[in-house]
């Protein structure tokens, strides 16, 4: 009987690291701290051979002198002493994409945490990796240290996923849950998040939902066997949510969360269509996502046999994200490749974007209006003419240092297209001083 080789008999997995920022430094620390454990689980040792970053002299809290320094990171793929390239630079295009393409073309495995690149170019890279018979791994691109990519691709592989939704951006969740706890408004809470390092100096990708949309597009591709279609994600962020909205949601028994959701619908002609949305929603206090606070992420997947699956944990940070990167490296070391998106790219089904107007549900609307007689009658008339039934209506009081007031309402269960029609009717009105805020109410 042939005995299996011990890890001492196997050559080390030789790694090139592009990008030694927070996550890259965390990966080095993890491999130093857990070297024996990682080698035992991978079946071989892991060895960082070369690194590349923008500033060589920057203090990153880890010793880089033991690795070869490469100024041009795109040269890493051409090295003969490298088995796998880890890309932690970021950005959908540019040097990161060039490195990814050249790594796969050179017959080397690629591990990346770059959600923007996978959301925009994932189909191209996956097809190239399949053709070259090399691994393309991106667990760290979605939800930090939560193994949701592996969970969907492997753990739930026997299920038809019927719906996937969750909280995919820690910065937005930190801001919303802090507003909830303190009563502060958005601008003040964002400034606090930036001071604490929870938000970037330019927070646009986070607070406007783009980061969550990148992640949702990737998860939808895996969950539904569809080609990634990031441009089809309907995206709205949290920058227009006010403290008054948080307070009103609380009074109604809800919290506000930025929710990413996707599911497949059958169109009138019998074809499958994919709905992908990122937008702030009211979540019942009894729902699992209502209890996700701070910078935590959570993903819910509903399988036809598994039922509801909840993945929750740290969605960012050096430790959690480095953990996901090294988990991918362990798969590469074991020789576990597989196709990146569960099925070969040639079998991924392009799906048209679903139209959401026919969907029914309760809706929260908040209007900023001029403080003058007749405004409420104007709003309620538009709702009546559009077939929207009003469940409750509250005039919330004057906006500080202005002649505006906030009017909030909850609409009864009804089609979303009726809400859209009511807003069209109100569009020409001079009574509305800002675009209305519309949030769906998630069923418990």
Rg (CA), the chain: 24
Instruction: Of 226, 350, 220, give the one whose Cα is nearest residue 277.
Output: 220
- CA–CA dist 254, 272 (Å, integer): 32
- Cα of 179 vs its chain's centroid, Å: 21
- CA–CA dist 355, 371 (Å, integer): 36
Q: How far is CA 355 from CA 139, 182, 274, 276, 419, in A?
A: 30, 37, 9, 10, 14
Instruction: Of 357, 91, 121, 346, give the one whose Cα is nearest residue 229.
Output: 121
Tell me the DSSP string of 32-80. Answer: HHTHHHHHHHHTS-EEEEEEE-S-SS---SS--TTSEE-SSGGGGGG-T
- CA–CA dist 76, 89 (Å, integer): 13
Contact 28, 86 (CB under 8 A): no
Contact 246, 179 (CB under 8 A): yes
- Burial classification of residue 57, based on how many CB atoms lie within 10 Å of its CB (0-12 exposed, 13-18 middle, 19 or more buried): exposed
φ, ψ of residue 264 in degrees (nearest 5): -105, 135
Find the catalytic residue in 45, 150, 215, 279: 215
Helix, strand, coil % (nearest 5) of the chain? Answer: 40, 25, 35
For helices 416-426 and 375-385, the axis angle rounded to 10 degrees is 140
Q: Is 215 considered catalytic here?
A: yes
Dihedral of CA atoms 321, 114, 356, 305 in degrees, nearest 10, equals -50
Which residues have a catalytic role annotated?
Answer: 215
């Amino acid at each position: 009987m042939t005995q299996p080789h011990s890890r001492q008999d196997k050559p080390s997995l030789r790694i090139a690291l592009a990008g030694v920022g927070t996550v890259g430094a965390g990966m080095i620390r993890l491999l130093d701290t857990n070297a024996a454990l990682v080698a035992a689980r991978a079946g071989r040792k892991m060895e960082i051979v070369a690194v590349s970053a923008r500033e060589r002299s920057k203090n990153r809290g880890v010793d880089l002198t033991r690795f070869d320094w490469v100024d041009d990171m795109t040269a890493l793929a051409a090295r003969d002493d490298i088995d796998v390239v880890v890309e932690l630079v970021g950005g959908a295009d540019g040097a990161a994409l060039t490195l990814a393409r050249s790594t796969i073309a050179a017959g080397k495995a690629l591990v990346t945490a770059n959600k923007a690149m996978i959301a925009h170019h994932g189909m191209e890279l996956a097809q190239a990796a399949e053709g070259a018979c090399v691994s393309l791994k991106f667990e760290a691109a979605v939800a930090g240290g939560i193994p949701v990519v592996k969970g969907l691709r492997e753990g739930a592989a026997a299920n038809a996923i019927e719906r996937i939704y969750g909280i995919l951006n820690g910065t937005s969740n930190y801001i919303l849950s802090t507003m909830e706890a303190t009563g502060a408004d958005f601008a003040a809470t964002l400034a606090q998040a930036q001071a604490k390092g929870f938000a970037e100096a330019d927070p646009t990708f986070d607070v406007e939902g783009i980061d969550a949309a990148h992640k949702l597009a990737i998860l939808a591709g895996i969950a539904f066997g569809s080609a990634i279609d990031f441009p089809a994600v309907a995206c709205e962020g949290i920058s227009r949510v006010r403290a008054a909205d948080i307070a009103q949601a609380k009074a109604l028994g809800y919290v506000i969360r930025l929710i990413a959701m996707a599911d497949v619908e059958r169109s009138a002609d019998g074809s499958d269509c994919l709905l992908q949305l990122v937008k702030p929603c009211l979540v019942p206090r009894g729902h699992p996502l209502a209890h996700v606070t701070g910078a935590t992420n959570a993903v819910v997947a509903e399988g036809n046999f598994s039922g509801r699956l909840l993945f929750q944990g740290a969605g960012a940070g050096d430790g959690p994200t480095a953990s996901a990167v090294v988990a991918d490296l362990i798969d590469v070391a074991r020789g576990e490749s597989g196709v990146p998106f569960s099925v070969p790219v040639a079998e991924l089904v392009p799906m048209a974007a679903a139209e959401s107007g026919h969907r029914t549900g309760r809706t929260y609307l908040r209007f900023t209006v001029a403080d003058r007689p007749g405004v409420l009658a104007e709003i309620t008339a538009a709702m009546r003419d559009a077939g929207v039934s009003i469940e409750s209506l509250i005039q919330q009081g004057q906006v500080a240092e202005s002649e505006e007031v906030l009017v909030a309402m909850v609409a009864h269960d009804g089609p979303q297209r009726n809400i859209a029609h009511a807003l069209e009717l109100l569009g020409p009105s001079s009574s509305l001083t800002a675009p209305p805020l519309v949030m769906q109410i998630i069923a418990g």
